[in-house]
């Protein structure tokens, strides 16, 4: 990974550039690696875990790709703007933005600590809006923005009230943003995964709960981060560019 500006000036130009928030682990890491495999230079955003973000970026560069890691709390508009500045400085622009950063809290609505509600909504609503705002300002013509929701918005499992409410907000701005970007050939879509085997999903669940959720889709398994990364690659690639303003429930057939 190059950090010297003089060295960067001798590198070949990059055709396409992606900013992936929450790119240090889970779905975000899989997305960053998949987009790099498809030839994009990747800015791996992270909030706290610099070591994990470095692992993601190092894996990409070890495979012949180009990646840098950039710290930013997605709810901090100044930090996010600086991350996009870094993408433009390092690689010349931004063509794909994927907002994988998110926060999950499980609790019955009656018992939920409102401080937890505020934290969830700060990341999942304010953060999603901040990243979408920068994407709208920075994406080059022909680019793509992908947000993340959850299939729980549709399944409405008990205990997911705060999380589903925050992701419903993400879904509600998807078509609005797509329409606001008319004339720039930019697509805006949101992916709503079902149960996916990430640390965030598995944390706090018993083996029986995980097994039950795995059996819920007709395909009778949990999704993998790679399953979701493949959907992102489709939506941000030329084959998926006619898909716009949509919520795609990538969940193995859950209602």
Q: Which residues are catalytic?
A: 163
* Cβ–Cβ under 8 Å, residues 144 and 96: yes
Q: Give the strand order in the sheet containing 187-191.
A: 67-71, 41-46, 17-21, 94-99, 139-148, 187-191, 247-248
Task: Give the Cα separation of 247 and 22 in Å (integer).
Answer: 20
Q: Is 117 left (phi over 0), alpha (psi -120 to 50) or beta?
A: alpha
Note the maximum CA span of the chain.
59
How would you class 140 by CB atoms within 10 Å of its CB: exposed for 0-12, middle for 13-18, buried for 19 or more?
A: middle
């Amino acid at each position: 990974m190059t950090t010297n500006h003089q060295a960067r000036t001798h590198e070949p130009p990059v055709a396409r550039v992606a900013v992936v928030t929450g790119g240090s682990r889970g779905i975000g890491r899989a997305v960053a690696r998949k987009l790099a495999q498809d030839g994009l230079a990747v800015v791996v955003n992270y909030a706290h875990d610099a070591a994990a973000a470095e692992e993601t970026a190092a894996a990409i560069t070890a495979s012949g790709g180009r990646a840098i890691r950039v710290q930013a709390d997605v709810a901090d508009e100044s930090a996010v703007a600086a991350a996009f500045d870094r993408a433009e400085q390092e690689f010349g622009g931004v063509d794909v933005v994927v907002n994988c950063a998110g926060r999950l809290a499980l609790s019955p609505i009656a018992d939920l600590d409102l401080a937890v509600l505020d934290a969830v909504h700060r990341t999942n609503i304010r953060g999603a809006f901040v990243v979408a705002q920068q994407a709208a300002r920075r994406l080059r013509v022909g680019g793509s923005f992908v947000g993340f929701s959850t299939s729980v918005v549709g399944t409405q499992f008990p205990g997911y009230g705060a999380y589903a409410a925050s992701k419903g907000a993400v879904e509600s701005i998807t078509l609005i943003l797509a329409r606001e970007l008319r004339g720039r050939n930019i697509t805006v879509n949101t992916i709503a995964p079902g149960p996916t085997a990430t640390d965030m999903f598995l944390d706090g669940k018993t083996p029986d709960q995980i097994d039950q959720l795995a059996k819920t889709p007709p395909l009778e398994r949990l999704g993998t981060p790679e399953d979701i990364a493949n959907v992102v690659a489709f939506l941000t690639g030329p084959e998926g560019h006619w898909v716009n303003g949509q919520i795609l429930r990538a969940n193995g057939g859950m209602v």
